[in-house]
Amino acid sequence: MGILVNGVTKRFPPGRGEALGHLAVDDATFSVPRGHLVALLGPSGSGKSTILRIIAGLEEPDAGEVYLDSELVTAHPVHRRGVGFVFQHYALFKHASVEKNIAFGLEVRKWPRPEIQRRVAELLDLIQLQGYEDRYPSQLSGGQRQRVALARALAPRPRVLLLDEPFGALDAKVRRNLATQIRQLHSEFQTTTVFVTHDQEEAIEISDEIVVINRGRVDQIGSAEEIYDHPKNKFVASFIGNVNVIEGYLVNGTLSIGPQRIPVPSRRTEVPDGEVVLLARPEDVELVEETMPGAMKGIVKEVRYRGDRYEQEIEIAGQTIRVVEIKSRGQAVVRHAGQRVGVRFTRHRLFEVEKDHEAIRAQLQSLGYIE
Ligand code: ADP
Ligand code: MG
């Protein structure tokens, strides 16, 4: 096992006027097989950085253990853990050249000069910055600086690489480029890596496996497909991928959305009667004839043509949902705003409304995952 985080809990001391303090990490357990790249995915404030800092030894857990390569390291100081780091705003040494920055950890470890030179050259080659060794950080772009930071972290051959939102400050194109480079470096070195992000697309693109973090807890662990297709709870379902969140009321196997009612097969209703939210992905909503039995009635608000698909906004009883229809087999009917349609959910899940539903929704809205 590359990394084992076992039952880790961390509470920060209470601020003025607070009784309990802040439970930043709540009994978190997950592991990363040796040589794998795992993403820790969760909204801002969910405890991702704290978990990473605990793995590194920069923060001490209140409970639980950390193992690196099966060795218990909870009591080891940072420099004895063999971890490499890259942070979002990882300041390179400003007054040192690219070469000196990458060589830093090797000089500290007293590597012989020729070996340092060989290693620096190898890394410059891998991050595609040959010829830049004498430049200073101020003479590099943001993306180039992060590549140097990555090379500096990897230089001493750490047993674990920890990346905390390393692309956070960069624009979308540079991020994609760096994501590809991280995958390449990872397949070259096979360093056990934890990649922290709040960006689900980044997590899906980069990692072998995703650990979803919600308010300090591990909510689900799995491949992107597993998490997308079989979300364990409402938070995970709405955090991964686009999803429609529709509020309704369930009584006796009938779901009411505003004045409209549809039967819900009993196997779908693992939730008790009362207020519920229905989650359905835009591609799991089917538009049919308005008169189709069992369909909800909706009105087309907007149709956007996207080349290979139509993205449509449909209003059902005052709530707007997104529907994606792939333009294949010449089947998609071109609709127009104002048209009346029937709406069926080919796949959906119902969840009980929790007290924190509004908070989760606000969080998802702020991240742009829902409107
Ligand atoms: P994330 O990286 O997912 O955004 P963090 O691990 O940085 O989350 O923070 C988790 C929670 O712990 C947040 O509510 C944050 O305010 C709190 N927190 C983090 N570090 C400290 C600290 N040193 N003192 C007090 N509270 C902290
Ligand atoms: Mg963070």
Whole-prediction pTM: 0.75
Q: Are 79 and 158 in contact (CB under 8 A)?
A: no
52 backbone dihedrals φ, ψ, rounded to 5°: -65, -40
Strand duo 274-280 + 309-316: pairing? unpaired
- Same structural domain, 171 and 202: yes
Q: Is residue 371 part of a domain?
A: no
CA distance 171 to 175: 6
CA distance 141 to 153: 18
- Same structural domain, 127 and 174: yes
Distance 47 CA to ligand 1 centre (A): 6
Distance 50 CA to ligand 2 centre (A): 7
- Same structural domain, 20 and 58: yes
The packing angle between helices 142-154 and 113-126, to 10°, is 140
Determine the 3-state secondary structure of 368 from DSSP: coil
Domain span at 177: 3-229
CA distance 362 to 371: 10
Cα angle value 49/26/191 (rounded, 5°): 45
Distance 80 CA to ligand 2 centre (A): 23
Q: Is residue 183 part of a domain?
A: yes
DSSP 238-298: HHSS--EEEEEEEETTEEEETTEEEE--GGG--S-SEEEEEEE-GGGEEEE-TT-TTPEEE
Q: Which listed ligand is nearest to 47 at the C-alpha?
A: 1
Q: Whose CA is nearest to atom 15 of ligand 1?
A: 45
Distance 281 CA to ligand 2 centre (A): 28
Q: Is residue 327 part of a domain?
A: yes
Of 176, 195, 229, the residue at which a domain comes to its end is: 229
pLDDT tens, residue order, the chain (371 aa) = 899 999 999 999 888 877 778 899 999 999 999 999 999 999 888 999 999 999 999 999 999 999 999 999 999 999 899 999 898 776 789 899 999 999 999 999 999 999 999 999 999 999 999 999 999 999 999 889 989 999 999 999 999 999 999 887 777 778 878 888 888 889 888 999 999 998 887 888 888 899 999 999 999 999 988 887 788 887 787 777 777 888 889 888 889 998 888 888 655 556 788 888 887 888 889 999 999 888 999 999 999 888 888 899 999 998 899 999 887 655 556 788 999 999 998 888 777 766 445 555 554 554 444 55
Q: CA 65 from chain center: how many Å?
A: 24
The tokens describing 317, both together, are 């009883």
CA distance 53 to 134: 32
Of 229, 259, 280, the residue at which a domain comes to its end is: 229
- Same structural domain, 192 and 141: yes
> Which amino acids bring their CB within 6 angstroms of ligand 1?
12, 22, 24, 42, 44-50
Distance 239 CA to ligand 1 centre (A): 20
Ligand 1 pocket, mutate which of 10, 16, 41, 50 (most atoms under 8 A from CB) = 50
- Same structural domain, 175 and 72: yes
Specify the number of domains making up the chain. Answer: 2
Q: Is residue 7 part of a domain?
A: yes
8 burial type by CB count under 10 A (0-12 exposed, 13-18 middle, 19+ buried):
buried
Q: What is the CATH number of the domain that holds 148?
A: 3.40.50.300
- Closest ligand 1 atom, residue 44 Cα: 4
Q: Is residue 193 part of a domain?
A: yes
- Closest ligand 1 atom, residue 42 Cα: 3
Q: What is the CATH number of the domain that holds 329?
A: 2.40.50.100
Q: Is residue 236 part of a domain?
A: no
Q: Which residues are in the CB-under-5-Å shell of ion ligand 2? A: 49
